[in-house]
Amino acid sequence: MTLSNKHILIGISGGIAAYKIPELIRLLVKAGAEVRVATTRNALQFVTETTLQTLSGHSVYSDVFASINAHATEHISLPEWCDAMIVAPATANVLAKTAAGIADDALTTTICSCITRKPILFAPAMNDKMWENPATRQAIKTIRSWENVRVIEPEEGPLACGTCGKGRMPEPEELCEAVHYLLEPQSLAGQRILITAGGTQEKIDPVRFISNYSTGKMGLALAHACARRGADVTLVCGAVSAPLYDPFGRIHRVDALSAQAMYEACTDLWPQMNKAILCAAVADFAPANEATQKIKKDSGVRSQESGLTLSLKETQDIARALGETKRADQQLVGFALETEHEKENALHKMERKNLDAIVLNSLRDKGAGFGTDTNLVTILQSDGKETPLPLQSKELISAEILRVLFS
């Protein structure tokens, strides 16, 4: 699911991390959401009302008694309007007030009205000493105990005061991902899902390897989609260049750069999993012998006339190994990237490797395949069902794959 037609309310309190919120608004709007903003008066010392209004397209609610408010009780109407609220940054002051039920300004009255009705996310940000304050810790404990509330932990790193510690608000991309978690149905809660992503690297010598063009975007999109729906995801990664966002620790990353390392990780993990989606571009062949030192032009291994000859060996087949040991209560999904006889090759692969389904795409389709943000696929199932999906973002493709195969 995207955030299309969703109403997101952002509450900003008076912390330096408020400077990140314009980018969060931009990301939410790009994802299809309509955004409105409520702030404390102090928040507007860090980010201007004009900036927030321009990016959101709505006036900012910062004064309970302002004549420009659309409603006399804006703190009631905004929670009625929104699908979810995020308070970012959430200062120690706002956290303490929220925990105590104090509502004495535009933001805290809005929180007080929203907190029993809509999902709400707090993103604390403050100095590390303030984060460690017993009153702050108690406020966090109290807020976390409430049914509709999630708290995203602050990060460790350099702080505005010049020290280094825990208290940094996560980046806007991480907060945007957390909003998805608030709104997605938890249809995969309790499920353990193995996903592979990225290309493998097969070493020739200490400085060279054989690989492919995979960036891991499709695999990471699938990991995000599963985690948003409540799954416990184990992501076995080859070489990936796409970012991974995991605001609530549902994605456990295992790095496995070579085909052999990925094979060992997957076969070890598979017995504990309910489902697996094998999206990685795993090498079919690897150098038979890895040189221990860099191969040089004048090393005697090659000649100017004949060039360098590499002997290759087949790598172990991950999909086949998992298919051979698949239990009746497990689902196994593969991917097939083909350049000719696409459907025939994909169906043969699904049958040969005992897959429940295979997702087929072709390098001949413009906008699909390696390195793109979009994909065009057909989902083929072992029971004969066939679901073609149009060209769209890999995020939307991932959501559709889960809907078709795991609903």
Three-state SS string over 212-247 comes to: CCCCCHHHHHHHHHHHHCCCEEEEEECECCCCCCCC
Report the residue count for the chain.
Answer: 407
Check if the beta carbon of residue 368 is closer than 8 Å to that of residue 376. yes
Annotation marks residue 237 as catalytic: no
Could you tell me where the DSSP H helices lie in 270-354? 318-325, 342-352
Taking the CA atoms of residue 353, residue 200, residue 223 and residue 169 in that order, the dihedral angle to the nearest 10 degrees is: 170
SS3 at position 265: helix
Query: DSSP class of residue 150?
Result: E
Three-state SS string over 297-308 comes to: CCCCCCECCCEC
Beta pairing partners, 379: 359, 387
How many angstroms separate the most distant Cα atoms in the chain? 85
Q: Looking at 114, 161, 164, 176, which residue is catalytic?
A: 161
* Cα gap 64→33, rounded to integer Å: 25
Tokens for 381, please give them.
């199932």
- Nearest C-alpha neighbor of 89 from the set 124, 115, 56: 124
* Cα gap 197→200, rounded to integer Å: 9
Residue bearing tokens 């295979």: 358
Q: What's the Cα-to-Cα distance from 116 to each of 79, 147, 388, rounded to whole Å? A: 10, 8, 41
Tokens for 340, please give them.
């000719």
Helix (H) or strand (E) holding 39: strand 34-39
Distance, CA of 35 to chain centre? 21
Active-site annotation, residues: 161
